[in-house]
Structure formats: structure tokens, C-alpha cells
Structure 1
């Protein structure tokens, strides 16, 4: 069973650590949302032999434009974050929320201009933009 004094010390240490963790979690939660940290950097996307670059939200090339929602929009947002200089250029990541709003449209237009060419800028993700997002250069 062991030394009773050692057992009490361990129990007290565990109780103290638990109380500190609980107190920290309660007081730290509001501060965590106040300022973004380095952890806000985008996740990496990877090459999959059958489709090219993917962030594993959507594997197809479904048409997307302002007002679109779903996994294919998350894939577009994640690809822009994880495979381009968007984060470095803009100082923040594009929200990966599956909603193709003004921010996503602006990011798509930026991507089209930078990676495809000015003639491709329309803010719509069709076959040509998907190919560029997936890493196929025309």
C-alpha cells in the first residue's frame, strides 16, 4: 500500500493541480477568443495521386460562386489557406466555414489573379480554377 504520508502528498498534489487547471480553464476561456495566436495558422493540405492537392473536405470539382455553401466551399477555403501565400500576404487565414461570402469571393479573385492570370478573375470556382487550386497549372 505504501507510505501513508507519501500517499497523502500525492493526493494533495493531484487535488491542487486539478484545482489550478479548473481555475485556469474558467478564467482563460474569454482571453483565448480575444486575440488570435500562432495556432490560427492554416492547416496543411496534401497531394493525393488521384486528384492533386486536397485538404480532405471535398474531393470533386463542384462549381462554386457567391452564395454557395457546403464541403466543396470548405475545400476551396482550405486550399487557398494551405497551399498559397494568402495567409502570409493578408496576415490572416480565410475562414473555413463552408460559406462562399464576400471574403471567400475576394480570396478567390486574389487567387485567380495571382495564380492563373488577370483574364481568369471572375470570383467563380469552375473547372479552370479547380485545376489551379488542385495544383494543375494550365
Structure 2
């Protein structure tokens, strides 16, 4: 093999190694961004093409009412905070207590829904499009 043929091969080898290292760096930064996603979820909601307003806690529409706890309740609390002028803002703690029930009733009355304090399909639909 001549030295003139080795030059381009060395350049190709160095370029390939550099590309692999950069790709590994991109994977690391993507993984870091994915790890930060739960923090971003707690800070704000997004408009999802299929779901509508979505705060990254819960994407369904199951009936949710006072006494329940968990991500469905967090989603309701975050949606009311993000999509309405309700004041004072709810604490997004996942506990469907009296403050959340009052906010849901307030929301339902302003959207022309049955005011029962229960987040069923109709209330979910209005929260997702508020």
C-alpha cells in the first residue's frame, strides 16, 4: 500500500471516530433532557395534538372526585392553574380536597357544565380545550 492511499484512509478513520464520539455526546445530552422532563412537567402544560391541554401527569378522562389522590388529580389541578384565571392557584399536590373541588365547581359553572364538583368526561373535555 502506498503512502498516498494511507492519507485518505487515516482522515476517514479519524472522521469516523470523531462522528462516533459526537453521536455519543448527543445521546448523553438527549438522556439528560429526558431526565429533566419530570421537572418540566411540574412547571407547565403543553398543547398536545391528540390530547389537547396536557400537563404531563395524566392523559385520560376517567371520573375523578373529592377524596381521590394521584396523577389524575395533579392533572386537574395543573390544568385549572394553567388554563383559567382561578385564584388563588391550586397547589399541585395530587389531593382532591375541598380547594380542588371548589375550583372544579367554579370551572364547571363558567363552562356551562353541570356543577357537581366531579371531573367526568365533559369536564375533562372542557379542561383540555380551555
* Alignment-derived partner of residue 129 in structure 1: 123
Contact 1:58 1:75 in 2 (8 A): yes
* Alignment-derived partner of residue 70 in structure 2: 70
How far apart are 1:44 and its partner, in Å? 3.3
* Alignment-derived partner of residue 109 in structure 1: 105
Per-residue CA distance 1:14-53 (angstroms, 9 max, x = gap): xxxxxxxxxxxxxxxxxxxxxxxxxxxx943211011100
* Alignment-derived partner of residue 59 in structure 2: 59
Query: Partners of 2:48 and 2:77 in 1: how far apart?
Result: 18
1:18-33 to 2 correspondences below 5 Å: none
Query: Partners of 2:129 and 2:45 in 1: how far apart?
Result: 11
CA RMSD of aligned residues (A): 1.6
* Alignment-derived partner of residue 98 in structure 1: 94
How far apart are 1:134 and its partner, in Å? 0.4
Residue 97 of structure 1: SS of its match in structure 2? coil
Aligned length: 89
How far apart are 1:104 and its partner, in Å? 0.3
Residue 47 of structure 1: SS of its match in structure 2? strand
| Runs of 4+ in structure 1 over 4 Å off | none
Larger Rg: 2
